Amino acid sequence: MIVTLTANPSVDRTVELQRLEPGSLHRALGVTVQPGGKGINVARALVSNGFNARAVVPAGGTEGDHLISLLRDQKIDVIRIRTEKPVRSNISLVEPDATVTKVNEIGPHLSSAEVRALTEVLLAQVSDAQWAVLAGSLPPGMDAEVYADLVGRLAATGVKVAVDTSGRALLASVKAGPALVKPNLDELEEAVDRRLDTLADVVDAAQELRSLGAGAVLASLGGRGAVLVEDAGTWYANASAVPVSPVGAGDAMLAGFLAAGGRAPRRWPKE
């Protein structure tokens, strides 16, 4: 079992357009609505491939009802923490050449009582879990240190913790000693405050995060592949594929990595 926490989930509406022209009236060619948020994406990828996953989400309002309904339709074991304010809604406008224009809401402000309820419910859901995943942005009202506190409290239960977030929350979490962090290239550059132009630069940055407390670093590099740095060594992999859209790619990679045991597959070339 893998348990995910999505602190700032969303209902994501994707609208297909022939061409986006600012200031004009558009008629949609197609519309899809999906549950959104990094932890939710990880859970969806796992369940769709036959693995057990449980998603813990704060969800208020009619938008929250819709989110929970979407998750249950996809056979996700979802644990809901009801909040006073509604779940955010995001909109993606997609053109035929795969150009995507996104509008993401900030998300609801969580009260201190709601934050406490969210953390306590998560801790109560990991008794049968091998991994707990803390993923995505934090909503207003949730301090960056909340993830760091959860890393320590979850690890004390014996579950391994993976963190996929950015900014202050990522750095605070790293110092708390998670088993794994999964930044993308932009997030890794932000964490070490410098450009990472080569694979050697990426490895050095990953080692820097490990020196701060992370057990392993799995960095997704978009079309350039991925790098894993852990105690056993450093691995690099790059699939032969033409990148079309990065949406959800890192979440799917993290899901696959955890489903494989959270360690480097033997087929990966070692650097």
pLDDT at 223: 79
Which single residue is written with the structure tokens 């036959």? 50
Average pLDDT of every residue of the chain: 92
**Average pLDDT of span 205-228:** 94
pLDDT of residue 237: 84
Task: Decide if 167 contacts 140 (C-beta within 8 A).
Answer: no
How many CB atoms are closer than 10 A to CB 61? 15
Confidence label for 222 from pLDDT (cuts 50, 70 and 90):
confident
Structural domain harbouring 63: 2-259
* pLDDT the model gives residue 249: 79
Residue 238: its pLDDT value, please? 79
Classify 11 as helix, strand or coil. Answer: strand
Q: What CATH number is associated with residue 72? A: 3.40.1190.20
Name the 3-class secondary structure at 18. coil
194 vs 229: CA distance, rounded Å: 19
In this structure, is residue 271 part of a structural domain?
no
- Residue 77: predicted pLDDT: 95
End-to-end CA distance of the chain: 31
Q: Is residue 250 part of a domain?
A: yes
Largest CA distance in the chain: 56
pLDDT, tens only, 29-61: 999 999 999 999 999 999 999 999 999 999 999
pLDDT at 271 over 50: no
**pLDDT score recorded for residue 225:** 87
pLDDT tens profile 66-115 = 999 999 999 999 999 999 999 999 999 999 988 889 999 999 999 999 99
Half-sphere exposure of 175 (CA within 13 A, CB side): 10
Q: Is the model's pLDDT at 245 over the cut of 80?
A: no
In a domain, 266, yes or no: no
- The pLDDT of residue 101 is 93
In the block, tokens 């590099």 appear at: 221
Distance of alpha carbon 3 from alpha carbon 268, whole angstroms:
26
H/E element holding 30?
strand 30-36
Kindly list the catalytic residues. 251
Q: What is the pLDDT of residues 160-215, one digit of tens each?
A: 999 999 999 999 999 999 999 999 999 999 999 999 999 999 999 999 999 999 99
- Structural domain tally of the chain? 1
Say yes or no to pLDDT of 267 above 60: no
Q: Is the residue at 45 inside a domain?
A: yes
Q: Is residue 239 part of a domain?
A: yes
Q: Please report the pLDDT score of residue 102 as a whole number.
A: 92
Q: Is 69 domain-assigned? A: yes
> What residue type is assigned to position 17 of the chain?
L
Question: Is 270 within the bounds of a domain?
Answer: no
